[in-house]
Amino acid sequence: MESLESELDRARDLDVADLADAIESIGFECTRCGACCTADAGCDSEAEPGAPDDPHTATVFPDEIRRLQASGPGDTEYDFRDVARPMPYGLTDGPDGPEGETFEWALQTDDCGDCTFYEETDGTGACTVHEDRPLICRTYPFSVALGGTTQPMGDAVDEAGMVRAHECEGLGREIDREDAEELAAALKERAVRELEEAIGVREQYQPVETGAGEVVVHDSEGQKRPDGTHRE
């Protein structure tokens, strides 16, 4: 298995033109269906009340959280918890709620399990923070085939070179070269950032003993509480 450093070198060496070629060969156009922004079940009227079993989960970097916080309406900022939550993977359900350690942040979700920044009008979805959306959102439904990088929701259904395409109704549609290159550049940036973050987490990590109902998030900036403040 390649080291994270080796995979980071490979990510930095990715050729944007080659990635764009692969994206063009697969084809993509966003249909604004909202499937990548919403939970599988959501607030289905036939579902049992309460939190969804499988909420929308999208990885967000610490600096992306801060940028989203600053994008609040007017001169206000979003609270940290309005933007992000501890990645649920690795946490357990204790008597006082989730507890344990996790190693990423995820975008916050609403009561239906949908991304908190998603809105829908007459069946057409929109992102309310589109200009500041994280790289995982900018590059969906694509990922690169490198160890240590995040695979977005949905199974990989197509592959061209280093590019994998994941389940999305927009696949197979024509994409112009300029859009393919923009998407490819973001895809490379995301791969680099994910590996840099993984290396940073590894270097910062120190085991902790969590108490009942306590959650600790390890990111590249250290140990944090669910509200984003550093844990002493």
Residues 180-208 have pLDDT tens digits of 999 999 999 999 999 999 999 999 999 88
**Whether residue 50 has pLDDT greater than 60:** no
Task: Mention every residue, 6+ apart, whose C-beta is less than 8 A from residue 39.
Answer: 52, 54, 55, 56, 109, 112, 113, 114
**Alpha helices, DSSP H only, in the chain?**
4-12, 16-26, 62-69, 80-83, 135-139, 177-204
Beta-bridge partner residues of 139:
none
Q: Predicted confidence band at 52 (pLDDT cuts at 50, 70, 90)?
A: low
